[in-house]
Amino acid sequence: MKIIKIGTRKSSLACRQAEIVADYIENACEGYGARLVTLVTTGDKILDRKLDAIGGKGLFVKELDIALRNKVTDLSVHSLKDVPMEVPKDLPMIGFSAREDVRDVLVLPKGKPGYDYGAPIGCSSNRRALQLKELYPDAEVKNIRGNVLTRLEKLDGGEYGALVLAAAGLKRLGLSGRISRYFSPEEMVPAAGQGILCIQGRAGEDNTFLQGFFDEEARQCALCERAFVAYLNGSCALPIGACAEIIDERRMRLLGLYFDEETKIYRKMGLTGERKNPEELGTALARELKRACSE
């Protein structure tokens, strides 16, 4: 039996996501087994500053890339929204999982019936902070770092009056009961790739045993959303969001959010295009939104 070593961050959510892949290998891939290799990334260590101030999303994948390149691991499993736009050619994204719930959600302290404005709303991204100002104009929005369980501890301890988190992470951890409100993608445009797992491997190696795990609709949405962000030179510092959905066998729709640093104008816009050309759709919407925000 060939054992596939799966690299993952140490957080409960990261391990659960890697276990989803490991479970597939163990149960559906004859002749293969799986073992998790947990690593602590730089992004996990530095929790007292905003992510964009310390180097961006790449800090969550650097150590996993090194382990994969040095053959300490055979695969890496990431939340796609944490994967930088620039992916090393020798460590390509080899496939994507079916998408979990794409939406952002509001989480309240245990026992609270609603958000009472008595304490700030915690969120970890400028994208969420920008959109929260529309939804809760009188609320203070305060940065929060750390894994999901750490953030929930801070919430229940009274440091925050509410949190905004990804529904996908809470559901994968079995914590959907903590969700107080779902934000529609139109209310709060999600991060590109939210809810999708990305599997990264080494170039030139045979990973066909995973073909049954990979999801074509998720792949098309992933390529569309990442093309949108790439055209806009998006990073975790800019309030940019993208959410693609499959309409039918031929068409897909992309919803995007863009903030122009120079004009301080931001817009949300949707565009429909061909599923066979997801990156063209992403680029086309990015171009339209950039034009609208610069006028």
Active-site positions read: 82
Contact 268, 189 (CB under 8 A): yes
The pair of three-digit structure tokens given for residue 39, joined into one six-digit string:
């690593």
Contact 101, 196 (CB under 8 A): no
Contact 287, 231 (CB under 8 A): yes
Three-state DSSP state, 67 = helix
DSSP 3-61: EEEEEEESSHHHHHHHHHHHHHHHHHSTTEEEEEEEE--HHHH--SS-GGGTT-GGGGT
The pair of three-digit structure tokens given for residue 76, joined into one six-digit string:
């890496």
Contact 293, 267 (CB under 8 A): yes
Nearest Cα residue to 200 out of 70, 35, 90: 90
Helix ranges, 78-232 (H)? 126-135, 148-156, 167-172, 216-231
Q: For residue 202, what are the CA distances in angstroms to 64, 142, 194?
A: 12, 39, 23
Contact 178, 133 (CB under 8 A): no
